[in-house]
Structure 1
Amino acid sequence: MNVPFLIARRYFRSKKKRNIISIISNISMIGVAVGSAALIIVLSVFNGLEDLIRSIYGSFDPDLRVTAVKGKSFETNAAFLERLQKTPGVEFLTEVIEDNALLRYENRQKVIKLKGVTNNFFGQNKIDSSVIEGDYRLRRNGYNYALIGRGVQYELSIRVQNAIIPMHLLYPKNKKKVSLSLDPEDAFNEKSIMVGGVFVIEKQYDDNYVFVPLAFAQELMDYGNRRTSLEIKVKPDQSVKRVQQQLKEILGPDFKVLNSDEQHVSLLRAVKVEKMFVFLTFAFILLIASINIFFSLSMLVIDKKKDIAILTAMGASPKIIRNIFLAEGSIVAVIGAITGLLIGFGVCWVQQTYGIISMGMATALVDAYPVKMQLIDFLLTGLTIIIITLLVSIRPAIKAAAVDPKTTL
């Protein structure tokens, strides 16, 4: 039988407890409950945002991307590409030439991100399912076509149905010396191409990207055998991490092989750092809310001095007395924590199921705030409350154990 817990529970349920002590205890429970619920909700929202970022970029990014450690491009040849293609676990490889270029359409112009890709590019991702107008294919009936973002289309008022007016793409010529007397028009390579389709993924891509066939970009930019990156799709039954390690060993230190998260490491790290600081902030708020437990226990020690003296006279050791008040503080905190965790779980479940709270902006992927509950968040929140409860309860419990029954009775 756990005597300290039984006595603490009796104190907690006692109707004779001073009214002010009862009020402070209730305030403590409410504070812990609200803090716990808020912490679970906010952490779940950050988890949802992290997954949303992965899903957005997952529609665009390959499983693995190979880039040069130095410079923005590197030389390739048939043997080099074949060696990578034959790496165990590699399903197929896409050659990429990507750089900024100037896009002109009628009397309007815009600097865009031009991405030339080989024909298997659309097997890497889900961009083809994001096409809202026209066709995603870049090569049809012997002609080249461009796939543009909706933001590019809106800004330049490009009409996909117009089969007469092409887009004009300009890229600086690779000249070592530039003369001030040179005609600006002669400083650029220029090629025209018709618009074949429009895609919608995410604002960053919609407002900047234009996809064209690799040969078109290769000729416009004078890249020859150079490529800015190689995008690799891993077979479904293979481990991305294992294939990544194999490619690193094959390519050596002159190349980077990045998985999906590493391609956006700064953004994902920022989300994780924000989540950590939010956790620390709410943990501090829980500490402030739990200070009421300290005051209620301190007042309870004063109120129960006679009980402490009687228990001591009956043979209760200072440890038992101390544990009674630690258990009292734990009861208040646990009830508040369980209530808060249940409220947080309920709110997150409702948002996951019904999407009540909208993000308030147009997006191709979600309309409501994404939330994702993780067991680790509940465990960390519970552990934080346990630590905080011990911190605020230990002082009153020690004072209770130090009460001298001679001065009380």
Structure 2
Amino acid sequence: MNKVFLNSIVFAIALMLIAASLPVGAVEPLWKEDFNIKTEFDLKTLTQENFYEVIVPLAKKEGSFVFFDFSNSFAPLWTEHIIPLFEKEYGIKVQHNSVKGDVALQQMLAARNAGQPSPTDLFFVTSTQTQALIDNGLAANIPMYKLLPNAKDVDETLATVTNGVNHGGYMVPFHRNQTAMAYNAQFVNEQDVPKNFDELLAWVKKNPGKLAATSPLRGGSGDGFLTSLMLRYVEGRCRDALSNFAITDDEARAWIGEGCLDPVGQYYKEFNPNVEITNGNSDTLNLLANGEAYIGTVWEDMTYDFIGRGLLPRTIRLYLLEDGQVGGGDGIFLPADSTKPASALLFLDFILSRDIQVIKLQINGSRSARTDINVKELLSADDAARLIPDDQYPAHAVQHVPIPIKNMGKEWYEAKIVGQ
């Protein structure tokens, strides 16, 4: 018998024996052969079925952990609702720190380079940092959606793909967000609301100064508007790049240099002189609040929150342009250098539970990656009216373009639109 063939049989049998020795449901590491995080428990034998049996005692032994949070709007949700519920249930203290995302990541890198533990045990980060965390080896390479019991009802695509990056599941999809348009029904009738980008351009020309548009350089709703314009107006061979998530910064820069964003530039050339460009998402909402603007570019969850707190009138309505507007989400990851992995994992599982995801929806208007949450069943008619209508979401929600195109697009906007 051929020696190579015999070796192949032996190797195959060895693999089968290894697989048979693993418990059913055990997860495998992402990107590498081994897990990149040190734990008191064996990740190779941990499953959704034995998760609580193994993790809860160790988490209580750890007693506490540090949680970094990049967001401002979610801080009250964490500190007044979610964290107290977790601490009450498990007796584990959570040290919540509001941080600047980029600065905190540099702190983590500095600690890694100095051979020190991570300054945090969990980190709620913006989706734009998904790839950088992989490249720098800062995230624990665990497919969380396969390990956490409460992830069973999470959409697999949303659990593994963020901002076009297929990360395999290391990032837990805590928050789903959506850019949108908002209008004040006191000034604009529903039947007169512009339904697509062409109609929106015509509307601002007829109503100069009455639309507030967040600058793409100052807020995510403006950045999302720019990205949505790309998806609407970029055509021909240029369009292929919008779904090429392997594209590099240099390739994206060259793509722009070929004139691929010229149609978007033409739109802005006619659009910007007729609108109020604001310096942030809150500034846009403030113009809507005082009646200076009738329509604005917004975030769904932020608008929901402002209406609920009385910062916007109840006459504000959300909708999506029929051409499509981008949405995404932000997540939480376990650092590879965490010293409290058991309590961190237990918290990750806790926040994915249906009860917590419902609380998040009701308080912040933040949608969920879970498939068993029905907005109409969970919100009052008054609260549901603060969200995008069901016939528009998710029908007119679209995914972001690749990060290099998004980033180079903002550079292009600053140079070609603002600079001219």
Normalising TM by the smaller chain, what interval? under 0.3
Structure number with larger C-alpha Rg: 1
More helix, by proportion: 1
Tell me the TM-score normalized by structure 2. Answer: 0.22
Higher RCO (Cα < 8 Å, 6 or more apart)? 1
Query: TM-score when scaled to structure 1?
Result: 0.23
Higher strand residue share: 1
